[in-house]
Every structure is written in structure tokens, then in C-alpha cells.
Structure 1
Amino acid sequence: MTDEKGQAVRLEIDSELANTTLIAMAVRGLCAMTTLSPVEVNRVELCVVEIVNNAIEHAYGNEKGHKVEVGVSLLQACLMLTISDWGKPMEQGKLGSRDMSVDPDNPAAWLCSGRGLPIVQSLMDSVEYQTVGDKNSFIMSKQIRS
């Protein structure tokens, strides 16, 4: 999970919504090691919390006792985040649909239910979802200026 030009950390929480605060604080701290602006750090944190919440709510049906793993890699030119669960996979094609336009500069629009994935897609530079075996992973990145 790391290369010769980067650092990586892997965090694990139990599938309880209250635990997303721990992940948010950890990601915020790791982002402080980069040149991301405070606005960009807030956006990255929002995206991580959204995807972790989705794993807990949708993959695990809000059932406690399951693992949610968050990997953060600080590479030379980008921040790479991988959120994994071992629950119900996301519907195929759901990530690719960008039906809803979301204004990344209007936080009030973020509060509507069902807008999480479009928000994440608009705030991150790249977003992908994959299932390998029983592991579902949401992988996203944000460019870091030098």
C-alpha cells in the first residue's frame, strides 16, 4: 500500500456510524501533512465520511460488528483513499451515473439524501469502485500541488 515516494496508513473501525468521527479526525490529520488547502481538506473529509457511512448503512445495513477499513496513501502528487467493506456490494453502474448535478461550492445542496456519490464524484479527482472476492473497495484520489 505504499511506494518508495509515499507513506501509507490503514485504519479500521467497527460498523457503527459514531465511529466515522474517528476516521474523519484521522484523515484530517493526515491531510494536514499535505499542501491541500483547508477547503480541500474539508472536501476530502466529507467524501471519506460519506463513503464510510455508505458502507455502514448500505453494505452492512447499519449492523454493528463488521469491519470498515480505510487506507490512506500520501504519494508525491496525490492523496489516495481506499474505503473497504465485506458487506453487500453496491449496485453495478450506480457509480457511473452522474444524473444529479451537485454544486461543490453549495454545502446546503449536500444535505439532500441520495446525493452522496455525485458529491464525492464532483469533489474528488478520480473515483472507482471494485469488488474482488467478498471485499468491496471504493478508491478515490485528490491531486496534491507541489
Structure 2
Amino acid sequence: MKVLGIAVSAGALQYGALQRDSGISLMPEAPERLGQADGLTGCERTADTYRRILQDIRVLAPDLVVLVATRRHGNWPYRQAADRAALVTLVQLACHQDGVRCEEWKTEKISKLISVPATSLSDVALKRIGVVTRPKYWNQGRGDAFAAALAALHESATESQ
């Protein structure tokens, strides 16, 4: 099974791509993150971002995409909230376009599945995702994305037993 965890953080999509064969490991050649193009604006920027998300989904061919739901619920500047909502929507559209299951999970659900506090998902032990050193952008949200992917793999293993 292949799972792509995605955390929207720092104005970009932070990817955590894991697979389970005999054990859990990183998906080879998976991108680290996807940011919006600086040179584009308006609908050109939105279309470009969508095309690049769709390309990543097609290349990775995950069985499931798990979006990490935000823990922030109020006092957002409009631009931050709108950017997050747009990125989440573009991921959902790309998944729908390619027939990939896409779910948004609260940090509490992820926390229960991997036994890490919901407020610090990036504290997941690196060996649990099959690495010895922290991947790039870990503290910018990528750690949360890997936690989401790991949680989905755990849930699928439990369901198949």
C-alpha cells in the first residue's frame, strides 16, 4: 500500500510519502513539497498549482492521500485561510480527477493511530518511517505529513487483520 500524507504549512504542500511492502519505507523519488509558483498570479497560478499537484499524484500513484486537518480554527488573516482552503481544494480535485481516495484527518485521529500527542505529530520516531535522519522540511510541516501517512498505513493494517 502507498500513502501520501500532506500537510498544508508555510504556504506549501508538505509531502510525506510512505509505502508498506515487507515493512514501512519512504516512496522512492517522492517530492518533498510543492509550493506555488512565485512568477504567476490569479488563475494562472491556481491552474499551474493544480497541474503540478495532479502530476505528483499521477507519478506517486498512492492508494490514499491523507490531508492533515488544521488545528487552527479562528483569528486567521484572510489570505492565510484562503490560501490553505485553495490548496486543500486543489489536492481534492487532483485526487478526484485521478480516482485516488482522499481524506482529511484530524490530528487527534492521527495521534491515536500512532500514539504520538496530537499537538506534536512530528515527534514520531524516525525509525517508524524507515529513516535514520530527519527528512528536509521536517519542522515546516513535513513531519506531520509523514505522521498522517504512517497512521493510514497502521489503520489499513488493522483493517486487513
Higher strand share: 1
TM-score for the superposition, normalised by structure 2: 0.26
TM-score for the superposition, normalised by structure 1: 0.28
